[in-house]
Amino acid sequence: MTRRGRRPANSQTRAAVMGAARETFAARGYLGATIRQIAATAGVDPSLVLYFFGSKDQLFRTVLTSSVDGRQLLSQLFDGPADELGQRLVTRFLRLWEGDAGATASALLRTAVTEQRFGTLVREHIAPAVTTTLVERVGVDPAQASVRAALLASQLSGLVLARYLLRIEPIASATIDWVAAAIGPTIQRYLTGALPTPPATAPPVLNTG
């Protein structure tokens, strides 16, 4: 039996660094987090961090891709009948965000907003995956799937922004059930409701980088 992929972790130190990196990147973004901070949080020498992961960039990418199976997560989120899916989706989404996956996702979101190369990651990998899931599991018309996915992303990312990153009240302190009741109908409309005809495209004037 040949071994495939990465070999087992070298030690428990490696796992400690991973946890510290996830926390630190989530809290401060890619630029704001430093290898020295991560090492300190993990109770480890800074040079060990690079010994295990090679570079800051690779460490970040390892955090993003480790222990989070995006496809499976998406399938679970969109499971069940399309009717009344909106409210269930918000509930599952928030529960998920308050666990380990949320810390990783916070790190990605915080970073994607300021670092172009990680914004590309969201654009080219996550968005298409959501679109595919909408078609396969929710039964959305393929011609409308990318539009519905983008609208979905706009409301859910904004919810994360308001509740977890900016902590705008009263959304930040509301119960998950209340938020799901308030925002569920929006999600439902983006998933299965009527939309304006075709998404006429005309690039906006861009001045924000």
Partner DNA sequence: GTCTATAGGGCGATAGAC
Partner DNA sequence: GTCTATCGCCCTATAGAC
Binding stretches for DNA (CB under 7 A): 10-11, 13, 33-37, 44-48, 50-51, 54-57
CA gap 79, 43 in Å, rounded: 40
**What's the Cα-to-Cα distance from 162 to each of 158, 159, 174, 176, rounded to whole Å?**
6, 5, 12, 13
Closest approach of Cβ 67 to a copy of itself, in Å?
15
Shortest separation between residue 187's beta carbon and DNA, angstroms: 37
Our finding on whether 129 is near a copy of itself (CB under 8 A) is no
Q: How far apart are CA 172 and CA 161, in angstroms?
A: 10
Give yes or no for residue 156 binding a copy of itself (CB under 8 A). yes
Q: Minimum distance between the CB of residue 48 and a copy of itself, rounded to whole angstroms?
A: 23
Instruction: Let me know the angle formed at the C-alpha of 47 by 45 and 50, rounded to the nearest 5 degrees.
Output: 125
Applying CB under 8 A, does 117 fall inside the site for a copy of itself? no
Q: Which two tokens stand for residue 101?
A: 């996956």
Question: Residue 113 CB, nearest distance to a copy of itself (Å)?
Answer: 5
When asked if residue 27 is in the footprint of a copy of itself (CB under 8 A), the reply is: yes
Partner whose binding site includes residue 155, from a copy of itself, DNA, none (CB under 5 to 8 Å by kind): a copy of itself
Burial of 206 (0-12, 13-18, 19+ CB in 10 A): exposed
Q: Which of residues 53-82 bind a copy of itself (CB under 8 A)?
A: none
Among 59, 109, 134, 191, binds a copy of itself (CB under 8 A): 109
Q: Is 23 in the site for a copy of itself (CB under 8 A)?
A: yes
Q: Whose CA is closest to 66, among 119, 113, 108?
A: 108
